């Protein structure tokens, strides 16, 4: 009956192909042969979610087990949601069109904090109680709700809504979790019995088993583990990327998605240690895939999907130790098949002539580099470890190679920042423009375009800046205006992130369980799709904070002391507190640290990986 209802409403919505399923390489199984049904939920639209590599990996991994079936679920856009609610159609899996209530487990990936309200909305659309405590005692009454992704570095703002958080990388822990669920389902155990058992899987955090007490000033006094749950939850880490599961094909969408191409992860982690970057620390230790594995797997996926573009995925692609050899291997089969190879996330300080020549063999597009700050002092504060000469020298090489468009990423509001640092962004962009016109080898008859993307600093957990305050909204706006007023060239364009959304992101990034009430109230008052400018309701959020008695500045604009218990202190990311404090102190003095291939800075991440980190292997030091 549900299938017919869904078919009847599809002609009434924009982009109905978002909701049909049936794409090439999608997996449909016989329900009679399935022990565990899992719904992988991406709390944003189909076009965003279908671009996510983690979905592709876990979708293939779970479906590789004959008795497990993973389906995809995305947040329906506003037009679809309105019709679904009007016709009492629950949220459904794309492969079967069955209600999420029919699944054993429902998993959300939390890629950004502004997706939190969509998690609640999707649960409600499915007819699943949004609060964990209201889901009954039986495993058959409601699915187990699980969440993973980088935002679970601090899971507390969603603690009341999620049954289990998977902390860290999912390729191994996911199957362990589903195997345990299958075992407890068969013996008709209660939800609590399963959750207690699940808490003993390394990397699984069950927030209902932990009690939080607070001091009079609102800071956390203590985390207390109950029912035998571990006091500290260790992040899961995959040790060998060459031998871990990777899909042989991707689902090919019917509609164009954000990243409509083959994506291949070449290594995890980052050697650089930029002090603001959560991903750079969260995905440590550093591990690389071999050239042979990347090339073989990429060619297989390209063949199975028909895509004509391959994008190499990492936090800093040019830091891959054998990047030239890798490009040669990929181009040997990609060029004859007219498949473009894209290399995003390039470092300014290792954009070599050899790499430039290799990139010149593939489709020409603009180059993107992250300068982050406009002055050398501030680049030292954040440990960017690049100089102005390196920035200009890299742009010179790009222009000599025929490029005419360069995009530079910057941040404002960084710790210790002054107006001189802000104005320095424009001055650096102007020098890049001048570099183009002073270059005798510049492309004839061409003009240069320098695009500067300017975001605002958000202090994130598990970074040396986790204790730092975010600038007030008024101060961020003032700095943005200062930049606009100092632009002198029409060749330079600035693009700014929305101040209000950045403010909310900072609150959630370092928030505690008190924010659960705020998130639920804001969602009930109509807040969803908060990362979309045209759907973001700042005033509604502020009203929710006020009604719940929450001081927003306490979370976003307050400096923490080193001895304060932080909401994520019971989550062991592998990065020690001593290392983070040491890096924070060096930042105050504008002192840099060497990157991981020059010197081990004793961050602690090796302890979660049996002492192995590719950045320290002798054959990888250069």
pLDDT at 488: 83
pLDDT at 619: 44
Distance separating alpha carbons of residues 117 and 527, to the nearest angstrom: 7
When pLDDT is averaged across residues 217-246 and rounded to a whole number, the result is 96
> Quick check: do 261-363+592-622 and 365-507+559-568 share a fold?
yes
Could you count the other beta carbons within 10 Å of the beta carbon of residue 339?
A: 22
pLDDT at 297: 96
pLDDT at 123: 98
* Nearest CA-CA partner of 185 in 502, 177, 293: 177
The helix (run of H) or strand (run of E) holding residue 291 is helix 291-305
Question: CA triplet 500, 501, 503: central angle to 5 degrees?
Answer: 65
What is the per-residue pLDDT across 518-561, written as a single tens digit (0 to 9) for each? 999 999 999 999 999 999 999 999 999 999 999 999 999 999 99
| Whether 169 contacts 238, CB under 8 Å | yes
Backbone torsions φ then ψ of 283, nearest 5 degrees: -90, 10
Distance separating alpha carbons of residues 424 and 29, to the nearest angstrom: 58
Fold of 365-507+559-568: Transcription Regulator spoIIAA (3.30.750)
Judge whether residue 439 has pLDDT over 90. Answer: no
pLDDT at 622: 33
The helix (run of H) or strand (run of E) holding residue 148 is strand 144-148
pLDDT at 397: 83
Distance separating alpha carbons of residues 400 and 311, to the nearest angstrom: 24
Judge whether residue 358 has pLDDT over 70. Answer: no
In this structure, which CATH number among 3.40.50.1220, 2.40.40.20, 3.30.750.210, 3.30.70.3150 belongs to the domain 261-363+592-622?
3.30.750.210
* Nearest CA-CA partner of 382 in 573, 591, 581: 591
Token reading at 505: 């992101």
Q: Quote the DSSP letter at residue 97.
A: -
Judge whether residue 483 has pLDDT over 80. Answer: yes
User: Binning pLDDT at 50, 70 and 90, where does residue 620 land?
Assistant: very low
Judge whether residue 350 has pLDDT over 60. Answer: no
Domain boundaries along the sequence of the chain: 2-234, 261-363+592-622, 365-507+559-568
Least confident window among 1-10, 109-118, 558-567: 1-10
What is the per-residue pLDDT across 443-464, written as a single tens digit (0 to 9) for each? 677 889 999 999 999 999 999 9
Could you count the other beta carbons within 10 Å of the beta carbon of residue 344?
A: 14
pLDDT at 324: 87
* Nearest CA-CA partner of 234 in 208, 210, 201: 201
DSSP string, 495-546: EE--HHHHHHHHHHHT--TTHHHHHHHHHHTT---TTSTTT--HHHHHHHHH
pLDDT at 579: 97
What is the per-residue pLDDT across 299-314, written as a single tens digit (0 to 9) for each? 999 999 999 999 998 9
Judge whether residue 315 has pLDDT over 60. Answer: yes
* Nearest CA-CA partner of 571 in 281, 197, 314, 275: 281
Percent of the chain with pLDDT over 70: 95
When pLDDT is averaged across residues 249-257 and rounded to a whole number, the result is 92
Name the residue with tokens 């008024």: 474
User: Binning pLDDT at 50, 70 and 90, where does residue 40 land?
Assistant: very high
| Whether 545 contacts 552, CB under 8 Å | yes
Judge whether residue 83 has pLDDT over 80. Answer: yes
pLDDT at 621: 37
pLDDT at 59: 98
When pLDDT is averaged across residues 206-222 and rounded to a whole number, the result is 97
Instruction: Strand 68-74: give its sheet, edge to edge.
Output: 68-74, 36-42, 105-109, 144-148, 164-166, 204-205
* Nearest CA-CA partner of 12 in 58, 76, 57: 76
When pLDDT is averaged across residues 505-524 and rounded to a whole number, the result is 98
Which pairs with CB-CB distance under 8 Å and at least 24 residues apart come from 219-225?
219/564, 219/565, 220/512, 220/564, 220/565, 220/566, 220/567, 220/569, 221/565, 222/565, 223/565, 223/569, 223/570, 225/570
Could you count the other beta carbons within 10 Å of the beta carbon of residue 67?
A: 11
Check: CATH 3.40.710.10 for 2-234?
Answer: no
* Nearest CA-CA partner of 394 in 346, 442, 455: 346
Token reading at 137: 């005692």
Burial class, 26, CB count within 10 angstroms (exposed 0-12 / middle 13-18 / buried 19+): middle
User: Binning pLDDT at 50, 70 and 90, where does residue 24 land?
Assistant: very high
What is the per-residue pLDDT across 95-129, written as a single tens digit (0 to 9) for each? 999 999 999 999 999 999 999 999 999 999 999 99
pLDDT at 612: 76
Burial class, 191, CB count within 10 angstroms (exposed 0-12 / middle 13-18 / buried 19+): buried
What is the per-residue pLDDT across 362-412, written as a single tens digit (0 to 9) for each? 545 567 788 999 999 999 999 999 999 999 998 888 888 788 888 999 999
Question: CA triplet 455, 459, 463: central angle to 5 degrees?
Answer: 120
What is the per-residue pLDDT across 328-339, written as a single tens digit (0 to 9) for each? 999 999 999 999
Judge whether residue 216 has pLDDT over 60. Answer: yes
User: Binning pLDDT at 50, 70 and 90, where does residue 55 land?
Assistant: very high
Distance separating alpha carbons of residues 316 and 270, to the nearest angstrom: 7
On average, the pLDDT of the chain sits at 92
When pLDDT is averaged across residues 33-60 and rounded to a whole number, the result is 97
């Amino acid at each position: 009956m549900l299938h017919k209802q869904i078919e009847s409403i599809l002609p009434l919505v924009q982009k109905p192909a978002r909701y049909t399923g049936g794409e090439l390489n999608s997996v449909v199984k016989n329900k009679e042969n399935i022990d565990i049904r899992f719904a992988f939920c991406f709390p944003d639209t189909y076009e965003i979610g279908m671009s996510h590599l983690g979905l592709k990996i876990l979708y293939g991994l779970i479906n590789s087990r004959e008795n497990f079936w993973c389906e995809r679920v995305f947040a329906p856009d506003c037009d679809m949601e309105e019709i679904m609610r009007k016709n009492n159609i629950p949220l459904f899996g794309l492969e079967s069109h069955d209600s999420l209530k029919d699944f054993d487990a429902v998993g959300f990936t939390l890629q950004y904090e502004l997706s939190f309200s969509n998690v609640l909305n999707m649960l409600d659309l499915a007819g699943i109680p949004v609060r964990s405590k209201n889901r009954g005692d039986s495993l058959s009454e409601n699915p187990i709700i699980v969440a993973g992704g980088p935002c679970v570095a601090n899971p507390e703002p969603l603690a009341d809504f999620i049954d289990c958080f998977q902390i860290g990388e999912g390729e191994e822990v996911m199957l362990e979790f589903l195997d345990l669920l299958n075992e407890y389902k068969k013996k008709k155990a209660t939800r609590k019995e399963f959750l207690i058992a699940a808490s003993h899987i390394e990397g699984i955090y069950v927030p209902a088993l932990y009690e939080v007490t607070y001091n009079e000033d609102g800071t956390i006094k203590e985390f207390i583990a109950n029912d035998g749950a571990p006091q500290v939850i260790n992040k899961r880490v995959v040790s060998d990327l060459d031998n871990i599961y990777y899909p042989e094909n991707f689902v090919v969408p019917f509609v164009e998605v954000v990243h409509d191409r083959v994506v291949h992860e070449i290594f995890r982690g980052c050697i650089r240690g930029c002090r603001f970057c959560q991903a750079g620390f969260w995905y440590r230790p550093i591990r690389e895939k071999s050239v042979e594995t990347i090339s073989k797997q990429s060619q297989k996926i390209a063949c199975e999907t028909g895509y004509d573009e391959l994008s190499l995925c990492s936090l800093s692609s040019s830091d891959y130790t054998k990047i030239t050899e890798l490009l040669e291997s990929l181009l040997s089969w990609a060029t004859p098949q007219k498949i473009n190879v894209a290399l995003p996330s390039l470092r300014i300080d290792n954009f070599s002539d050899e790499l430039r020549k290799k990139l010149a063999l593939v489709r020409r597009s603009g180059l993107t580099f992250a300068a982050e700050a406009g002055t050398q002092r501030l680049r030292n504060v954040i440990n960017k470890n690049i100089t102005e000469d390196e920035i200009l020298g890299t742009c010179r090489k790009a222009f000599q190679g025929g490029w005419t468009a360069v995009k530079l990423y910057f941040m404002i509001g960084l710790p210790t920042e002054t107006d001189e640092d802000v104005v320095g962004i424009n001055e650096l962009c102007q020098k890049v423009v001048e570099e183009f016109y002073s270059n005798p080898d510049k492309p004839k008859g061409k003009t240069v375009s320098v695009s500067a993307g300017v975001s605002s600093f958000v202090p994130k957990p598990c970074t040396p800046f986790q204790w730092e305050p975010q600038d007030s909204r008024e101060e961020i706006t003032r700095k943005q205006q200062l930049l606009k007023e100092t632009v002198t060239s029409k060749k330079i364009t600035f693009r700014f992130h929305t101040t209000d959304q950045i403010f909310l992101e900072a609150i959630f990034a370092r928030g505690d369980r008190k924010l659960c009430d705020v998130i639920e109230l804001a969602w009930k008052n109509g807040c969803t799709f908060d990362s979309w400018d045209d759907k973001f309701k700042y005033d509604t959020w502020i009203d929710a904070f006020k009604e719940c008695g929450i001081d927003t500045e306490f979370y976003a604009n307050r400096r923490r002391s080193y001895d304060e218990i932080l909401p994520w202190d019971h989550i062991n990311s592998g990065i020690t507190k001593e290392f983070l404090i040491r890096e924070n102190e060096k930042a105050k003095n504008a002192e840099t640290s060497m990157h991981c291939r020059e010197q081990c800075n004793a961050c602690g991440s090796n302890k979660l990986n049996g002492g192995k980190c590719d950045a320290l292997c002798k054959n990888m030091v250069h």
